[in-house]
Amino acid sequence: MTISETATKTETETEIERASEDSEVATPLSKTQNNRAMISIEDLSLVFETNDGSVNALSHIDLDIGEGDFVSFIGPSGCGKTTLLRVIADLEKPTSGKIFVDGTSPEDARLNRLYGYVFQAPALFPWRTIDSNCKVPLEIFGVSKALQQQKTDKYLALVGLQAFHNKFPWQLSGGMQQRASIARALCFEPQLLLMDEPFGALDEITRDHLNLELLKIWRETGKTVVFVTHSIPEAVLLSTHIVVMSPRPGRIAKVIKSPLPKDRRLEDRESPEFVAVMQEVREALANDHRID
C-alpha cells in the first residue's frame, strides 16, 4: 500500500443502493512497487455548513491506500473517521481536493459496485429474512438464484448465522443483526470493503471471532479494507496501516505502518511487537490530544 501523509477533511438502504497542528505533516509512506493505489486522496477538505456555522470535518487530507492493504482509521469522537469513509463511498462530497477510488471518481466506483459498506448500525430490511436481506445486492446485480443461494449460505455460515437464515431481523439480537449486515456486504465479494465500526456493539468473544474471520477473508481474497474503529488492539490486530486522526479540524496526525506479518493470531496480542505498535498508536493519539 501506500498511505501517505497528513490530513484533514472530512446510512441507510437507500445509500447502499446508490450504493497538524502538533503532528506536522504525517510521514508519507512510500508506495510499494507492486502495490497500486486503490484509493488516492489529495489535499481533500470537507466543510459542513450548518445552522450553527461551518464544521471543518476534514482538513487537507493526503492519503494513498494501496490495493490489498488493510487500513484502520482511529481517533477521538468527531475527528472525521466516518466522514472520510463516506467520502470514499461517495456518500459525502468533498468541499475541495481530489479523490480517486480504483482510478475513478467515488461516484463511478459506487455505480460500478466496487465496494461493500458496513455501517455502524445494521441496516437490514425488516420485512425480509436474514437470507433474503443478504441476497439484496446479488439480486441487484442479476446474479442467478443458485449462485445467490450459494454465496448467501457461505457468508451466513462464516458469520455463524446459518441456523438463523429464516429469521427476520427483529428476531435477532443487535450483534446478530450486525453479523448479518457484514455477511450481506461480503456476499457480492466486492474488491473494496468499507467498514464503519462494524464490531463496536459486539461482545468480546464474537468480536475476536469476527476479527479473525475478517483477517482470513482479507488474506485469502486480497481485498482492500478500510476500517473505522475506536479500539487500539483491534486496529493493531487487523491493520497493515493505522491512520491516527485528530479533531478540530479533522486531519491525519500520523500513519503507522505495522511491522506485523499478515498472518496474525489472537495470541499475537501479547507479543512485544504488538505491544510496541499499540504504544505507538497510543502516543500518536495522546500527542494530538493534549489539553492546553
CB of 56 to ligand ATP, least distance (A): 8
- Closest listed residue to residue 71, CA positions, set 233, 210, 244, 216: 244
DSSP-derived 3-state class of residue 78? coil
The residue among 82 and 177 lying less far from ligand ATP, judged by its C-beta, is: 82
Instruction: Return the number of other C-beta atoms located less than 10 Å from residue 147's C-beta.
Output: 11
Identity of the amino acid at 172: L
What residues form DSSP beta bridges with 245?
252
CB of 122 to ligand ATP, least distance (A): 16
CB of 48 to ligand ATP, least distance (A): 3
CB of 183 to ligand ATP, least distance (A): 23
The residue among 80 and 137 lying less far from ligand ATP, judged by its C-beta, is: 80
In whole angstroms, what is the distance from residue 14 CA to residue 11 CA?
A: 8
The residue among 174 and 259 lying less far from ligand ATP, judged by its C-beta, is: 174
The count of residues interacting with ligand ATP (CB under 6 A) is: 13
The residue among 7 and 217 lying less far from ligand ATP, judged by its C-beta, is: 7
Cell of 252: 491525519
The residue among 131 and 234 lying less far from ligand ATP, judged by its C-beta, is: 234
> Which window, 78-86, 141-149, 164-172, 280-288, contacts ligand ATP (CB under 6 A)?
78-86
What's the burial of 269, exposed, middle or buried (CB within 10 Å: 0-12/13-18/19+)?
middle
Instruction: Return the number of other C-beta atoms located less than 10 Å from residue 55's C-beta.
Output: 18
* Residue 52 DSSP label: T
The answer to whether 168 contacts ligand ATP (rule: CB under 6 A) is: no
The residue among 83 and 181 lying less far from ligand ATP, judged by its C-beta, is: 83
The answer to whether 50 contacts ligand ATP (rule: CB under 6 A) is: yes
**Phi, psi of 215, rounded to the nearest 5 degrees:** -60, -40
* Residue 59 DSSP label: E
CB of 226 to ligand ATP, least distance (A): 13
Residues forming the site for ligand ATP (CB under 6 A): 48, 50, 55, 57, 75, 77-83, 250
